[in-house]
Structure 1
Protein backbone atom coordinates (compact mmCIF):
# COMPACT_ATOMS: atom_id res chain seq x y z
CA UNK A 1 0.00 0.00 0.00
CA UNK A 2 1.24 3.50 -0.84
CA UNK A 3 1.97 5.22 2.46
CA UNK A 4 1.66 8.64 0.79
CA UNK A 5 -2.04 7.92 0.29
CA UNK A 6 -2.63 7.20 3.96
CA UNK A 7 -4.62 9.76 5.97
CA UNK A 8 -2.58 12.18 8.05
CA UNK A 9 -3.74 12.85 11.62
CA UNK A 10 -4.01 16.48 12.73
CA UNK A 11 -4.20 17.76 16.29
CA UNK A 12 -7.66 19.14 17.15
CA UNK A 13 -7.00 19.71 20.86
CA UNK A 14 -3.44 20.26 22.09
CA UNK A 15 -4.46 19.30 25.61
CA UNK A 16 -1.11 17.66 26.47
CA UNK A 17 -2.76 14.85 28.44
CA UNK A 18 -0.44 12.84 30.63
CA UNK A 19 -2.34 9.66 29.74
CA UNK A 20 -5.12 10.41 27.27
CA UNK A 21 -7.28 7.32 26.82
CA UNK A 22 -10.69 5.84 26.13
CA UNK A 23 -12.15 8.01 23.35
CA UNK A 24 -15.85 7.31 22.78
CA UNK A 25 -18.38 9.01 20.51
CA UNK A 26 -21.67 10.25 21.92
CA UNK A 27 -24.21 10.19 19.06
CA UNK A 28 -26.74 12.00 21.26
CA UNK A 29 -24.41 14.95 21.81
CA UNK A 30 -22.37 14.64 18.59
CA UNK A 31 -19.33 14.94 20.81
CA UNK A 32 -16.26 12.94 21.76
CA UNK A 33 -15.48 12.04 25.36
CA UNK A 34 -12.11 10.79 26.58
CA UNK A 35 -10.17 10.60 29.84
CA UNK A 36 -6.75 11.52 31.19
CA UNK A 37 -5.98 8.67 33.57
CA UNK A 38 -2.97 10.28 35.27
CA UNK A 39 -4.53 13.76 35.11
CA UNK A 40 -7.73 12.56 36.86
CA UNK A 41 -10.01 14.17 34.28
CA UNK A 42 -12.84 13.57 31.80
CA UNK A 43 -12.81 15.70 28.65
CA UNK A 44 -15.44 16.44 25.98
CA UNK A 45 -14.86 17.84 22.49
CA UNK A 46 -17.63 19.13 20.19
CA UNK A 47 -16.19 19.04 16.64
CA UNK A 48 -18.95 21.18 15.09
CA UNK A 49 -18.30 24.15 17.38
CA UNK A 50 -14.86 23.41 18.77
CA UNK A 51 -16.29 23.63 22.30
CA UNK A 52 -14.24 21.90 24.98
CA UNK A 53 -15.18 20.90 28.52
CA UNK A 54 -13.32 19.14 31.33
CA UNK A 55 -14.28 17.68 34.70
CA UNK A 56 -12.04 16.44 37.54
CA UNK A 57 -12.50 12.85 38.71
CA UNK A 58 -12.15 11.73 42.34
CA UNK A 59 -10.00 8.74 41.34
CA UNK A 60 -8.13 7.57 38.26
CA UNK A 61 -10.58 7.13 35.35
CA UNK A 62 -10.10 4.25 32.92
CA UNK A 63 -13.02 4.84 30.57
CA UNK A 64 -16.38 6.54 30.07
CA UNK A 65 -19.33 5.31 27.99
CA UNK A 66 -22.64 7.07 27.28
CA UNK A 67 -25.74 5.90 29.18
CA UNK A 68 -29.21 6.02 27.63
CA UNK A 69 -30.45 8.68 30.08
CA UNK A 70 -27.76 11.20 29.10
CA UNK A 71 -25.32 10.44 31.91
CA UNK A 72 -22.05 8.50 31.56
CA UNK A 73 -20.80 5.28 33.11
CA UNK A 74 -17.24 5.83 34.27
CA UNK A 75 -14.76 3.18 35.28
CA UNK A 76 -12.78 4.71 38.13
CA UNK A 77 -9.96 2.98 39.98
CA UNK A 78 -12.15 0.91 42.30
CA UNK A 79 -15.55 0.62 40.64
CA UNK A 80 -18.19 1.70 38.16
CA UNK A 81 -19.59 5.17 38.78
CA UNK A 82 -22.47 7.09 37.22
CA UNK A 83 -21.22 10.52 36.13
CA UNK A 84 -23.55 13.44 35.37
CA UNK A 85 -21.86 16.02 33.11
CA UNK A 86 -24.54 18.58 34.00
CA UNK A 87 -23.59 18.59 37.68
CA UNK A 88 -20.14 17.00 37.68
CA UNK A 89 -21.31 14.53 40.32
CA UNK A 90 -20.16 10.89 40.61
CA UNK A 91 -22.17 8.08 42.22
CA UNK A 92 -20.72 4.61 42.74
CA UNK A 93 -22.95 1.87 41.32
CA UNK A 94 -20.78 -1.15 42.07
CA UNK A 95 -17.33 -1.78 43.56
CA UNK A 96 -14.94 -3.90 41.51
CA UNK A 97 -12.22 -6.11 43.01
CA UNK A 98 -12.41 -4.68 46.54
CA UNK A 99 -9.93 -7.33 47.63
CA UNK A 100 -7.29 -6.08 45.19
CA UNK A 101 -6.50 -2.47 46.18
CA UNK A 102 -3.42 -2.49 43.94
CA UNK A 103 -5.58 -2.95 40.84
CA UNK A 104 -7.51 -0.38 38.84
CA UNK A 105 -10.07 -0.41 36.04
CA UNK A 106 -8.65 0.33 32.60
CA UNK A 107 -10.31 0.25 29.16
CA UNK A 108 -13.97 -0.52 28.33
CA UNK A 109 -16.66 -0.62 25.63
CA UNK A 110 -20.36 -1.44 25.12
CA UNK A 111 -21.44 -4.17 22.70
CA UNK A 112 -24.51 -4.09 20.44
CA UNK A 113 -26.55 -5.91 23.11
CA UNK A 114 -25.88 -3.16 25.64
CA UNK A 115 -23.38 -5.15 27.69
CA UNK A 116 -20.45 -3.23 29.13
CA UNK A 117 -17.04 -4.91 28.84
CA UNK A 118 -13.94 -3.74 30.71
CA UNK A 119 -10.61 -4.92 32.03
CA UNK A 120 -8.67 -4.40 35.23
CA UNK A 121 -4.91 -4.20 35.68
CA UNK A 122 -2.15 -3.98 38.25
CA UNK A 123 -1.57 -0.26 38.79
CA UNK A 124 2.12 -1.01 39.30
CA UNK A 125 2.19 -2.86 35.94
CA UNK A 126 4.13 -5.82 37.31
CA UNK A 127 1.72 -8.46 38.70
CA UNK A 128 -0.79 -10.55 36.65
CA UNK A 129 -3.81 -9.64 38.81
CA UNK A 130 -5.92 -8.09 36.03
CA UNK A 131 -9.05 -9.63 34.57
CA UNK A 132 -11.73 -9.20 31.91
CA UNK A 133 -15.35 -8.52 32.92
CA UNK A 134 -18.78 -7.91 31.47
CA UNK A 135 -21.62 -5.97 33.08
CA UNK A 136 -25.38 -5.96 32.60
CA UNK A 137 -28.05 -3.88 34.30
CA UNK A 138 -30.62 -5.67 36.44
CA UNK A 139 -33.51 -4.27 38.54
CA UNK A 140 -31.40 -4.23 41.70
CA UNK A 141 -28.22 -2.81 40.14
CA UNK A 142 -25.28 -3.89 38.01
CA UNK A 143 -24.37 -7.55 37.58
CA UNK A 144 -20.67 -8.18 36.97
CA UNK A 145 -19.22 -11.38 35.50
CA UNK A 146 -15.54 -12.30 35.40
CA UNK A 147 -14.53 -14.02 32.15
CA UNK A 148 -10.73 -14.23 32.00
CA UNK A 149 -7.75 -13.43 34.21
CA UNK A 150 -3.96 -13.43 34.48
CA UNK A 151 -3.33 -10.02 32.88
CA UNK A 152 -0.74 -7.46 33.99
CA UNK A 153 -2.15 -4.65 31.81
CA UNK A 154 -5.44 -5.17 29.97
CA UNK A 155 -6.55 -3.09 26.98
CA UNK A 156 -9.55 -3.23 24.72
CA UNK A 157 -11.99 -4.89 24.62
CA UNK A 158 -13.61 -4.44 21.20
CA UNK A 159 -16.36 -6.33 19.39
CA UNK A 160 -16.63 -7.46 15.75
CA UNK A 161 -19.54 -6.09 13.64
CA UNK A 162 -21.38 -9.41 13.73
CA UNK A 163 -21.11 -9.51 17.53
CA UNK A 164 -19.42 -12.92 17.45
CA UNK A 165 -15.82 -11.98 18.27
CA UNK A 166 -14.26 -10.07 21.14
CA UNK A 167 -10.70 -8.72 20.99
CA UNK A 168 -8.69 -8.07 24.15
CA UNK A 169 -5.04 -7.23 24.77
CA UNK A 170 -2.36 -8.33 27.17
CA UNK A 171 -0.30 -5.24 26.49
CA UNK A 172 3.07 -6.01 28.16
CA UNK A 173 3.24 -9.30 26.26
CA UNK A 174 2.48 -7.61 22.95
CA UNK A 175 -0.46 -9.97 22.41
CA UNK A 176 -3.90 -9.29 20.96
CA UNK A 177 -6.31 -12.11 21.84
CA UNK A 178 -9.61 -12.93 20.16
CA UNK A 179 -12.48 -14.86 21.79
CA UNK A 180 -15.66 -16.35 20.41
CA UNK A 181 -18.56 -14.36 21.87
CA UNK A 182 -21.93 -16.09 22.28
CA UNK A 183 -25.29 -14.34 22.21
CA UNK A 184 -25.64 -14.80 25.97
CA UNK A 185 -22.30 -13.05 26.60
CA UNK A 186 -20.16 -16.11 27.29
CA UNK A 187 -16.57 -16.12 25.98
CA UNK A 188 -14.81 -19.23 24.69
CA UNK A 189 -11.82 -20.30 22.60
CA UNK A 190 -9.29 -17.62 23.52
CA UNK A 191 -6.48 -17.56 20.99
CA UNK A 192 -3.72 -15.23 19.76
CA UNK A 193 -4.98 -12.96 17.00
CA UNK A 194 -1.80 -10.91 16.48
CA UNK A 195 1.50 -10.01 18.12
CA UNK A 196 3.40 -6.73 18.01
CA UNK A 197 7.18 -6.90 17.87
CA UNK A 198 7.67 -3.11 18.06
CA UNK A 199 5.68 -1.28 20.74
CA UNK A 200 2.77 -2.51 22.82
CA UNK A 201 -0.87 -2.90 21.82
CA UNK A 202 -3.00 -0.37 23.70
CA UNK A 203 -6.68 0.39 23.09
CA UNK A 204 -8.51 -1.27 20.19
CA UNK A 205 -11.67 -0.63 18.19
CA UNK A 206 -13.27 -2.39 15.21
CA UNK A 207 -14.71 -0.54 12.20
CA UNK A 208 -17.82 -1.52 10.22
CA UNK A 209 -15.74 -3.68 7.85
CA UNK A 210 -14.31 -5.69 10.74
CA UNK A 211 -10.84 -4.12 10.64
CA UNK A 212 -9.19 -3.90 14.06
CA UNK A 213 -7.52 -0.53 14.82
CA UNK A 214 -4.85 -0.71 17.53
CA UNK A 215 -3.13 2.19 19.27
CA UNK A 216 0.54 1.36 19.80
CA UNK A 217 2.20 2.47 23.03
CA UNK A 218 5.86 3.36 22.47
CA UNK A 219 5.25 2.87 18.76
CA UNK A 220 4.03 6.21 17.42
CA UNK A 221 1.41 4.62 15.20
CA UNK A 222 -1.92 2.90 14.70
CA UNK A 223 -1.80 -0.72 13.56
CA UNK A 224 -4.69 -2.22 11.60
CA UNK A 225 -5.58 -5.86 11.01
CA UNK A 226 -8.11 -7.50 8.73
CA UNK A 227 -10.51 -9.99 10.40
CA UNK A 228 -8.28 -12.86 9.20
CA UNK A 229 -5.26 -11.28 10.92
CA UNK A 230 -3.65 -9.79 7.81
CA UNK A 231 -1.69 -6.68 8.79
CA UNK A 232 -2.48 -3.49 6.90
CA UNK A 233 -0.30 -0.43 6.46
CA UNK A 234 0.17 1.36 9.82
CA UNK A 235 -0.74 5.03 10.29
CA UNK A 236 1.89 7.28 11.84
CA UNK A 237 0.80 9.63 14.64
CA UNK A 238 3.00 12.49 15.94
CA UNK A 239 3.22 11.08 19.48
CA UNK A 240 5.35 8.29 20.88
CA UNK A 241 2.48 6.80 22.87
CA UNK A 242 -0.72 6.28 20.87
CA UNK A 243 -3.44 4.94 23.14
CA UNK A 244 -6.74 4.40 21.30
CA UNK A 245 -8.99 5.50 18.44
CA UNK A 246 -12.75 6.09 18.15
CA UNK A 247 -14.96 6.65 15.12
CA UNK A 248 -17.17 9.72 15.27
CA UNK A 249 -18.89 12.44 13.32
CA UNK A 250 -22.39 12.31 11.80
CA UNK A 251 -21.31 9.58 9.36
CA UNK A 252 -18.80 7.87 11.71
CA UNK A 253 -16.04 8.53 9.17
CA UNK A 254 -13.83 10.64 11.41
CA UNK A 255 -11.22 8.83 13.48
CA UNK A 256 -10.26 10.44 16.78
CA UNK A 257 -6.96 9.43 18.37
CA UNK A 258 -5.88 9.85 22.00
CA UNK A 259 -2.21 10.02 22.95
CA UNK A 260 -0.08 10.38 26.08
CA UNK A 261 2.92 12.41 27.21
CA UNK A 262 3.67 9.91 29.98
CA UNK A 263 6.95 8.00 29.54
CA UNK A 264 8.04 10.17 26.62
CA UNK A 265 11.67 11.32 27.05
CA UNK A 266 12.29 15.06 27.00
CA UNK A 267 14.26 14.73 23.80
CA UNK A 268 11.31 13.09 22.08
CA UNK A 269 8.89 15.70 23.43
CA UNK A 270 11.01 18.36 21.78
CA UNK A 271 10.34 16.72 18.41
CA UNK A 272 6.75 15.70 19.25
CA UNK A 273 5.39 18.84 20.95
CA UNK A 274 1.73 17.83 20.52
CA UNK A 275 2.16 14.49 22.29
CA UNK A 276 -0.76 14.06 24.65
CA UNK A 277 -3.06 15.80 22.19
CA UNK A 278 -6.31 14.66 20.63
CA UNK A 279 -5.89 14.00 16.91
CA UNK A 280 -8.35 13.32 14.10
CA UNK A 281 -8.43 12.27 10.47
CA UNK A 282 -11.05 11.46 7.83
CA UNK A 283 -11.42 7.86 6.63
CA UNK A 284 -13.48 6.13 3.95
CA UNK A 285 -14.81 3.18 5.97
CA UNK A 286 -17.16 4.12 8.82
CA UNK A 287 -17.00 2.85 12.35
CA UNK A 288 -19.73 0.84 14.00
CA UNK A 289 -22.80 2.65 15.29
CA UNK A 290 -22.23 3.25 19.01
CA UNK A 291 -24.46 1.56 21.59
CA UNK A 292 -25.34 3.23 24.88
CA UNK A 293 -25.26 1.40 28.18
CA UNK A 294 -28.87 1.07 29.43
CA UNK A 295 -30.09 3.19 32.32
CA UNK A 296 -32.71 0.54 33.12
CA UNK A 297 -32.81 -3.23 32.77
CA UNK A 298 -32.94 -4.63 29.24
CA UNK A 299 -35.29 -7.60 29.31
CA UNK A 300 -33.67 -9.33 26.38
CA UNK A 301 -30.35 -9.63 28.19
CA UNK A 302 -29.35 -13.07 29.40
CA UNK A 303 -29.25 -13.48 33.18
CA UNK A 304 -25.78 -13.28 34.69
CA UNK A 305 -24.50 -13.97 38.21
CA UNK A 306 -25.18 -11.15 40.68
CA UNK A 307 -21.51 -10.33 41.09
CA UNK A 308 -18.21 -12.10 40.80
CA UNK A 309 -15.63 -12.65 43.45
CA UNK A 310 -12.93 -10.01 43.34
Structure 2
Protein backbone atom coordinates (compact mmCIF):
# COMPACT_ATOMS: atom_id res chain seq x y z
CA UNK A 1 0.00 0.00 0.00
CA UNK A 2 1.08 3.56 -0.61
CA UNK A 3 0.25 6.39 1.75
CA UNK A 4 0.42 8.93 -1.05
CA UNK A 5 -2.97 10.68 -1.03
CA UNK A 6 -4.96 10.26 -4.23
CA UNK A 7 -7.56 12.81 -5.32
CA UNK A 8 -10.93 11.06 -5.71
CA UNK A 9 -13.00 14.17 -6.47
CA UNK A 10 -11.27 17.28 -7.90
CA UNK A 11 -14.18 19.62 -7.18
CA UNK A 12 -12.06 22.67 -6.20
CA UNK A 13 -14.05 23.46 -3.05
CA UNK A 14 -13.46 26.92 -1.64
CA UNK A 15 -13.43 25.56 1.92
CA UNK A 16 -14.01 21.82 1.89
CA UNK A 17 -14.54 20.65 5.46
CA UNK A 18 -16.17 18.22 7.85
CA UNK A 19 -15.78 14.84 6.11
CA UNK A 20 -17.90 12.13 7.73
CA UNK A 21 -18.37 8.50 6.75
CA UNK A 22 -22.03 7.57 6.95
CA UNK A 23 -22.10 4.10 8.57
CA UNK A 24 -25.49 3.09 7.13
CA UNK A 25 -25.16 4.47 3.61
CA UNK A 26 -21.43 3.70 3.36
CA UNK A 27 -20.98 7.08 1.72
CA UNK A 28 -18.75 10.08 2.41
CA UNK A 29 -20.39 13.42 3.18
CA UNK A 30 -18.61 16.76 3.49
CA UNK A 31 -19.34 20.47 3.19
CA UNK A 32 -17.95 23.43 1.31
CA UNK A 33 -18.42 26.10 3.96
CA UNK A 34 -17.89 29.14 1.75
CA UNK A 35 -19.61 27.51 -1.21
CA UNK A 36 -22.80 26.81 0.80
CA UNK A 37 -22.79 23.16 -0.32
CA UNK A 38 -23.19 19.65 1.09
CA UNK A 39 -21.56 16.94 -1.02
CA UNK A 40 -21.73 13.14 -1.07
CA UNK A 41 -19.73 10.42 -2.84
CA UNK A 42 -18.72 6.80 -2.38
CA UNK A 43 -15.30 5.55 -1.30
CA UNK A 44 -13.97 5.83 -4.87
CA UNK A 45 -15.29 9.37 -5.32
CA UNK A 46 -18.15 8.21 -7.56
CA UNK A 47 -21.97 8.45 -7.23
CA UNK A 48 -21.62 12.13 -6.52
CA UNK A 49 -24.45 14.33 -5.29
CA UNK A 50 -24.61 17.94 -4.11
CA UNK A 51 -27.17 19.97 -2.14
CA UNK A 52 -27.39 23.74 -1.71
CA UNK A 53 -27.23 24.97 1.88
CA UNK A 54 -28.92 28.18 3.08
CA UNK A 55 -25.79 29.62 4.72
CA UNK A 56 -22.19 28.82 5.56
CA UNK A 57 -22.36 25.33 7.05
CA UNK A 58 -19.51 24.18 9.29
CA UNK A 59 -20.58 20.56 9.55
CA UNK A 60 -23.29 18.06 8.62
CA UNK A 61 -23.46 15.10 11.02
CA UNK A 62 -25.69 12.06 10.48
CA UNK A 63 -28.72 11.52 12.70
CA UNK A 64 -29.94 8.08 13.74
CA UNK A 65 -33.48 9.00 12.72
CA UNK A 66 -32.30 10.13 9.29
CA UNK A 67 -30.91 13.28 7.75
CA UNK A 68 -28.23 15.48 9.24
CA UNK A 69 -27.73 18.02 11.99
CA UNK A 70 -25.96 20.96 10.39
CA UNK A 71 -24.07 23.81 12.03
CA UNK A 72 -25.01 27.22 10.64
CA UNK A 73 -24.24 30.65 12.07
CA UNK A 74 -25.81 30.80 15.53
CA UNK A 75 -27.91 27.68 15.17
CA UNK A 76 -28.23 23.97 14.59
CA UNK A 77 -30.71 22.79 11.95
CA UNK A 78 -31.89 19.40 10.78
CA UNK A 79 -31.60 18.76 7.05
CA UNK A 80 -33.51 16.03 5.25
CA UNK A 81 -31.76 15.37 1.90
CA UNK A 82 -34.78 13.45 0.62
CA UNK A 83 -37.11 16.45 0.87
CA UNK A 84 -34.65 19.34 0.97
CA UNK A 85 -36.35 20.55 4.17
CA UNK A 86 -34.47 22.44 6.91
CA UNK A 87 -35.88 22.45 10.47
CA UNK A 88 -34.54 24.53 13.35
CA UNK A 89 -33.06 22.53 16.24
CA UNK A 90 -31.69 25.23 18.56
CA UNK A 91 -30.31 28.76 18.42
CA UNK A 92 -27.58 30.49 20.46
CA UNK A 93 -24.81 33.13 20.39
CA UNK A 94 -27.19 36.00 19.64
CA UNK A 95 -24.61 38.16 21.42
CA UNK A 96 -21.86 37.09 18.98
CA UNK A 97 -23.26 38.07 15.57
CA UNK A 98 -19.89 37.88 13.84
CA UNK A 99 -19.51 34.18 14.59
CA UNK A 100 -20.27 31.08 12.56
CA UNK A 101 -19.97 27.41 13.46
CA UNK A 102 -16.92 25.47 12.39
CA UNK A 103 -16.05 21.88 13.32
CA UNK A 104 -18.28 19.25 14.96
CA UNK A 105 -18.20 15.71 16.36
CA UNK A 106 -20.81 13.17 17.48
CA UNK A 107 -20.11 11.53 20.83
CA UNK A 108 -20.97 7.94 21.76
CA UNK A 109 -24.10 9.13 23.58
CA UNK A 110 -25.52 10.81 20.47
CA UNK A 111 -24.75 14.36 21.61
CA UNK A 112 -22.92 16.77 19.34
CA UNK A 113 -19.79 18.69 20.34
CA UNK A 114 -18.95 21.69 18.16
CA UNK A 115 -17.13 25.00 18.10
CA UNK A 116 -17.89 28.50 16.91
CA UNK A 117 -15.43 31.03 15.50
CA UNK A 118 -15.14 34.64 14.41
CA UNK A 119 -15.95 34.59 10.70
CA UNK A 120 -13.51 37.47 10.19
CA UNK A 121 -10.81 35.36 11.90
CA UNK A 122 -9.79 38.22 14.18
CA UNK A 123 -11.72 38.25 17.49
CA UNK A 124 -11.38 35.59 20.19
CA UNK A 125 -15.15 35.07 20.22
CA UNK A 126 -15.20 31.33 19.49
CA UNK A 127 -16.41 28.80 22.05
CA UNK A 128 -16.81 25.04 22.46
CA UNK A 129 -20.29 23.59 23.07
CA UNK A 130 -22.13 20.35 23.69
CA UNK A 131 -25.78 19.88 22.75
CA UNK A 132 -27.81 16.78 23.66
CA UNK A 133 -31.24 17.79 22.42
CA UNK A 134 -32.17 19.42 25.71
CA UNK A 135 -29.28 21.40 27.13
CA UNK A 136 -26.60 23.50 25.44
CA UNK A 137 -23.47 23.70 27.61
CA UNK A 138 -20.27 25.67 27.02
CA UNK A 139 -16.95 23.96 27.78
CA UNK A 140 -14.27 26.37 26.50
CA UNK A 141 -14.16 29.97 25.29
CA UNK A 142 -11.93 32.79 24.05
CA UNK A 143 -10.70 31.19 20.82
CA UNK A 144 -10.51 32.82 17.37
CA UNK A 145 -10.90 29.56 15.39
CA UNK A 146 -12.07 26.42 17.17
CA UNK A 147 -11.36 23.08 15.54
CA UNK A 148 -11.01 19.34 15.87
CA UNK A 149 -13.34 18.17 18.64
CA UNK A 150 -12.74 14.43 19.14
CA UNK A 151 -12.71 11.75 21.84
CA UNK A 152 -10.20 9.02 22.61
CA UNK A 153 -11.47 5.43 22.13
CA UNK A 154 -11.95 4.97 25.90
CA UNK A 155 -13.84 8.30 26.07
CA UNK A 156 -11.58 9.46 28.89
CA UNK A 157 -9.77 12.14 26.87
CA UNK A 158 -11.21 14.92 24.73
CA UNK A 159 -9.22 16.87 22.13
CA UNK A 160 -9.88 20.42 21.00
CA UNK A 161 -7.80 22.73 18.80
CA UNK A 162 -6.98 26.42 18.91
CA UNK A 163 -6.01 26.90 15.27
CA UNK A 164 -4.37 30.33 15.49
CA UNK A 165 -2.68 29.28 18.74
CA UNK A 166 -1.22 26.33 16.77
CA UNK A 167 -2.12 24.08 19.69
CA UNK A 168 -4.11 20.89 20.16
CA UNK A 169 -5.36 20.62 23.73
CA UNK A 170 -6.33 17.51 25.67
CA UNK A 171 -8.90 17.43 28.48
CA UNK A 172 -9.90 14.79 30.99
CA UNK A 173 -13.54 13.75 30.70
CA UNK A 174 -15.06 13.67 34.19
CA UNK A 175 -17.65 11.19 35.45
CA UNK A 176 -20.45 13.69 34.80
CA UNK A 177 -19.29 14.30 31.23
CA UNK A 178 -17.68 17.70 31.72
CA UNK A 179 -14.10 18.59 30.80
CA UNK A 180 -11.22 19.17 33.21
CA UNK A 181 -7.42 19.44 33.33
CA UNK A 182 -6.91 21.31 30.05
CA UNK A 183 -3.36 20.78 28.85
CA UNK A 184 -1.23 21.03 25.71
CA UNK A 185 -1.30 17.81 23.71
CA UNK A 186 0.67 18.98 20.65
CA UNK A 187 2.00 22.23 19.24
CA UNK A 188 2.13 22.45 15.48
CA UNK A 189 5.33 23.90 14.07
CA UNK A 190 5.45 25.98 10.89
CA UNK A 191 4.42 25.84 8.16
CA UNK A 192 0.70 25.92 8.66
CA UNK A 193 -2.00 25.80 11.32
CA UNK A 194 -3.77 22.80 12.89
CA UNK A 195 -7.24 22.30 11.48
CA UNK A 196 -9.64 19.38 12.01
CA UNK A 197 -8.71 16.24 13.95
CA UNK A 198 -9.75 12.58 13.97
CA UNK A 199 -8.85 9.74 16.34
CA UNK A 200 -8.28 6.14 15.23
CA UNK A 201 -9.05 2.93 17.10
CA UNK A 202 -5.59 2.85 18.69
CA UNK A 203 -6.09 6.35 20.10
CA UNK A 204 -3.73 8.05 17.65
CA UNK A 205 -4.71 11.64 16.89
CA UNK A 206 -4.61 12.73 13.24
CA UNK A 207 -4.37 16.49 12.66
CA UNK A 208 -4.87 18.18 9.29
CA UNK A 209 -2.60 21.18 8.71
CA UNK A 210 -4.03 24.16 6.83
CA UNK A 211 -1.36 25.92 4.76
CA UNK A 212 0.93 23.07 5.74
CA UNK A 213 0.33 20.51 2.93
CA UNK A 214 0.31 17.62 5.38
CA UNK A 215 -1.56 15.51 7.93
CA UNK A 216 0.19 14.63 11.19
CA UNK A 217 -0.40 11.48 13.25
CA UNK A 218 0.36 11.60 16.99
CA UNK A 219 0.38 8.78 19.50
CA UNK A 220 -1.90 9.09 22.55
CA UNK A 221 1.19 10.33 24.40
CA UNK A 222 1.66 13.19 21.93
CA UNK A 223 4.60 11.67 20.03
CA UNK A 224 4.66 12.42 16.30
CA UNK A 225 4.39 9.06 14.55
CA UNK A 226 3.79 9.88 10.90
CA UNK A 227 3.57 12.74 8.41
CA UNK A 228 1.45 12.38 5.28
CA UNK A 229 2.48 14.88 2.58
CA UNK A 230 -0.16 16.30 0.22
CA UNK A 231 0.17 17.93 -3.21
CA UNK A 232 -2.07 20.81 -2.08
CA UNK A 233 -1.52 23.38 0.70
CA UNK A 234 -4.80 23.54 2.65
CA UNK A 235 -5.74 20.27 4.38
CA UNK A 236 -8.81 20.75 6.56
CA UNK A 237 -9.79 17.42 8.13
CA UNK A 238 -9.77 13.64 7.68
CA UNK A 239 -12.39 10.98 8.34
CA UNK A 240 -11.91 7.23 8.44
CA UNK A 241 -14.20 5.21 6.21
CA UNK A 242 -14.62 2.40 3.77
CA UNK A 243 -15.95 -1.04 4.77
CA UNK A 244 -13.02 -1.68 7.14
CA UNK A 245 -12.51 1.96 8.26
CA UNK A 246 -8.96 1.77 6.92
CA UNK A 247 -9.26 4.54 4.36
CA UNK A 248 -8.60 8.12 5.41
CA UNK A 249 -10.55 10.70 3.43
CA UNK A 250 -9.27 14.28 3.50
CA UNK A 251 -11.02 17.51 2.55
CA UNK A 252 -8.99 20.46 1.25
CA UNK A 253 -9.58 24.09 0.28
CA UNK A 254 -8.67 26.72 -2.27
CA UNK A 255 -9.39 29.52 0.21
CA UNK A 256 -6.61 32.10 0.35
CA UNK A 257 -4.58 30.69 -2.53
CA UNK A 258 -3.17 33.03 -5.16
CA UNK A 259 -3.57 32.30 -8.86
CA UNK A 260 0.05 31.19 -8.91
CA UNK A 261 -0.47 28.81 -5.99
CA UNK A 262 -3.55 27.32 -7.63
CA UNK A 263 -1.62 26.79 -10.85
CA UNK A 264 1.04 24.85 -8.94
CA UNK A 265 -1.59 22.85 -7.01
CA UNK A 266 -4.44 22.25 -9.50
CA UNK A 267 -6.08 19.64 -7.23
CA UNK A 268 -6.53 22.14 -4.38
CA UNK A 269 -10.05 21.95 -2.96
CA UNK A 270 -10.39 18.29 -3.95
CA UNK A 271 -11.17 15.30 -1.76
CA UNK A 272 -8.30 12.88 -1.22
CA UNK A 273 -8.00 9.33 0.10
CA UNK A 274 -5.13 7.24 1.43
CA UNK A 275 -4.91 3.85 3.20
CA UNK A 276 -4.05 3.50 6.88
CA UNK A 277 -2.84 0.49 8.87
CA UNK A 278 -4.97 1.17 11.95
CA UNK A 279 -8.73 1.48 11.37
CA UNK A 280 -10.64 4.49 12.51
CA UNK A 281 -13.42 4.58 15.05
CA UNK A 282 -17.02 3.96 13.94
CA UNK A 283 -19.02 7.10 13.23
CA UNK A 284 -21.64 7.73 15.93
CA UNK A 285 -25.08 9.00 14.98
CA UNK A 286 -26.87 11.96 16.54
CA UNK A 287 -29.56 10.62 18.84
CA UNK A 288 -31.77 13.58 19.68
CA UNK A 289 -33.56 13.94 16.32
CA UNK A 290 -36.90 12.11 16.42
Same fold (TM over 0.5): yes
TM-score scaled to structure 2, two decimals?
A: 0.97
Indicate conservation of the 8 Å contact 1:45/1:51, yes or no.
Answer: yes
Aligned mate of 2:196, from 197, 203, 219: 203
Q: Deviations over 1:26-57 (max 9, x none)?
A: 01110011000100111111236810111111
Residue 188 (str. 1) matches residue 180 (str. 2): yes
Residue 76 (str. 1) matches residue 68 (str. 2): no
Deviation of 1:237 after TM superposition, in Å, equals 1.2
Deviation of 1:296 after TM superposition, in Å, equals 5.0
Q: Deviations over 1:45-88 (max 9, x none)?
A: 12368101111111100001100011100001121000001012
TM-score scaled to structure 1, two decimals?
A: 0.91
Correspondences of 1:1-310 after superposition (within 5 Å): 7-47=3-43, 50-137=46-133, 142-198=134-190, 199-295=192-288
Distance 1:84 1:47, change over 3 A: same
Distance 1:275 1:296, change over 3 A: closer
CA distance in 1, matches of 2:280, 2:242: 10
Greater than 3 Å deviation, 4+ residue runs = none
Deviation of 1:89 after TM superposition, in Å, equals 1.6
Indicate conservation of the 8 Å contact 1:203/1:244, yes or no.
Answer: yes
Distance 1:240 1:277, change over 3 A: same
Structure 1 residue ranges without an equivalent (≥5): 298-310
Distance 1:265 1:52, change over 3 A: same
Indicate conservation of the 8 Å contact 2:8/2:45, yes or no.
Answer: no
Deviation of 1:182 after TM superposition, in Å, equals 2.3
Classify the secondary structure of the residue corresponding to 1:256.
strand
Q: Deviations over 1:195-251 (max 9, x none)?
A: 112110000000001110001011000011100010122101111100000000111
CA distance in 1, matches of 2:28, 2:283: 12
Deviation of 1:295 after TM superposition, in Å, equals 3.7
CA distance in 1, matches of 2:151, 2:136: 18
Indicate conservation of the 8 Å contact 1:59/1:77, yes or no.
Answer: yes
Classify the secondary structure of the residue corresponding to 2:262.
helix
Matching residue of 1:300 = none
Distance 1:188 1:49, change over 3 A: closer
TM-align CA RMSD: 1.3
Indicate conservation of the 8 Å contact 1:6/1:235, yes or no.
Answer: no
CA distance in 2, matches of 1:71, 1:276: 25
CA distance in 2, matches of 1:12, 1:153: 28
Indicate conservation of the 8 Å contact 1:214/1:222, yes or no.
Answer: yes
Q: Deviations over 1:251-272 (max 9, x none)?
A: 1111100000001122221111
Q: Deviations over 1:268-291 (max 9, x none)?
A: 211110000000011111000111
CA distance in 2, matches of 1:181, 1:45: 34
CA distance in 2, matches of 1:183, 1:269: 48
